[in-house]
Structure 1
Amino acid sequence: MDDQPTQRQLRLMNGRSNPFQTFIALLVTAVFFILFQNQILNNFQRHQAIMRNSGSETHNKAKYGHHGFQAPAAPIRSVNPKFAQRFATEIGIKVNGTLLRGVKKSDRKYYLPNAKFEFLCFDGNQSIPFQAVNNDYCDCVDGSDEPGTSACPNGRFYCEPEHEYLPSSRVNDGICDCCDGSDEWKGVTISPDLNVPETKKVRLAPCSDVCHDYEHEKRLESNIKREGSIAKKEYLDFGQGQDEELYGKGGAYYKLSVKCYLYKSPGYVYTVCPYKNVTQDGKDHWVIGRGGELDEDSGTLTMPGGDGDHCPNGKLRSSIVTFICGPLDEVKYVSEKETCVYSVKFVTPAVCPDFDGNR
């Protein structure tokens, strides 16, 4: 019998894997498996922490209550030149890829990176890389780097539709606190084992938008007036000693006279400078109002004496600015309600009732 290996045996011998290569493959597989298991464990522990937190919050918090948070004093900061132009205007909800969840619209300018691309904590004592903002890890002692997560025990989340702050412990706890559900952006749901009943005041995630419900509308209106009344103090301080007949009681409207405000409609750009002029820019440039006469009882500022081109019977353009109570100065709407007569809806704290400290 021939002792030479057959062709089939040779193929099997050549097809056998190298023991060293097999060992390396098994080692790499084991490393990846361990890393995968570790990630699962971390996620599980994080989930358990959220569930424990949500359980205690469920039985102790008074839903939709006011928590009396005061806005921190803004630290002095240098802004990255890339964002400097946007500092005085509205900052979007997203800055250089970082989502500014839970940040009050008027406070977004404090979440711009400085020249070193760092975020300055609100207490002014600490700087962190801007990428660490809202990364679910508490870096700032004052909790200002995590407005959109529950990472900081002293943090707070702002419900924009309702103009109301929440303790950060309520973020992603499975209970919808903001009427639009923005506080539950992770979609965390409460374990059925907790046996939490859903009621009119306790809504469980996943959340639906109920901001237009009558109850929420009334609450929103109340919160807006309260914020506006608190902000009005700054306007009264600014207007001390000014002509009250011209600028209202305590000179509340004087601060509006030192700035101009833009409003863009589909066809025009309006520049509203109270007590100076209102302009309309499109194919042509028109002055549609000058000066200003305040009727404090009706909360309106009449600005006559604009350009008369193309107006009937030698009529001059005029603008009537109607002030609406709110926490920020903002032109909400401009329309030509009749030929050469313009209506301007202007939100400002100046028209809000004085804050009495009990609202």
Structure 2
Amino acid sequence: MSPKKLFARSAAMIALTTASFSTFAEEVNIYSFRQAFLIEPIMEKFTEQTGIKVNILFANKGLIERVKREGELSPADVVLTTDISRLVSLTSQDLTQPIQSEKLNSNIPSQYRDPENQWFALTTRVRNIYSSSERIGPVDITYQDLAKPEFKGKICTRSGKHPYNVSLVASVIAHEGEANAKVWLESVKANLARKPQGNDRAQVKAVKDGLCDYALGNNYYLGKMLADPKQVSWAEAVNINFPNQNTTGSHVNVSGVVLTKYAPNKANAIKLIEFLSDDVAQQMYAEVNYEYPVKVSVQPSKLVASWGQFKADTLPLAEIAKQHQAAVKLLDEVKFDL
């Protein structure tokens, strides 16, 4: 590296206020959308097993733009993120590089990794439909049912433009085509009990408060609410239902990881990514955050397992991701959030 580039990279590292990154041989640098409470214990295990120090920069937004802005001077080796849309955004902007790894291919089912090996899922999460345990009880339901007239005024959801809902709409497009998806989306909007607002937990609270009977939400929020004394009554007010069990299967999203294009510690980064796909890290993901391990042989937590087995949509996420822009367009066309 030229003295000029070396100085620029050093300056970029010094500018980081939330992490002290460097490029010594036994280190690896992470930019993480995922929260510290989950990631830090896993990284401690990795360091314990390998002797490789892990430096982490946490942020809930702006990391993709940062990697792009830093370019080849970026200290980031790995980006950890939630939602398939961010993984695709990183790869589509040419900010990643492929990994050829038999371990990753063995640990991660093909539908949960990029066909070109640019991104890899680490956990899965289901887009469930919650129902009022008092007024409705457990139900055999599909996403398509939410468009039926009998559901009018009974559904709550967060913004349609949130990545979790964009991915769901993209999956409907992938299965049924854009025209049918638009009709479905218009009907779901007409059935909403209120304007889309709040997060997934807020929808469950709305069911408890009697504002609606059904709510869209990711599975792990139920575990989080049951662990929170202030929210346990919300969780106890709903049943968790896995949609489309007799058709396509429930829509599944992921958290995942990429190796950055200019990773200064590439070998260590690949070791870390392989570790995250293997038993120790997979079990920690399952226990701490109520997510489903992407490695099939690792079991979910006892609480998550108690919700029952389910059939997941087998359509590769890469195919669903191709419809993300179309999904955003439809959400705008039907003015879903207005």
TM-score bracket, shorter-length normalisation: under 0.3
TM-score (norm 2): 0.25
TM-score (norm 1): 0.24
Structure with the higher fraction of residues in helix conformation: 2
Larger CA Rg, structure 1 vs 2: 1
Structure with the higher fraction of residues in strand conformation: 1
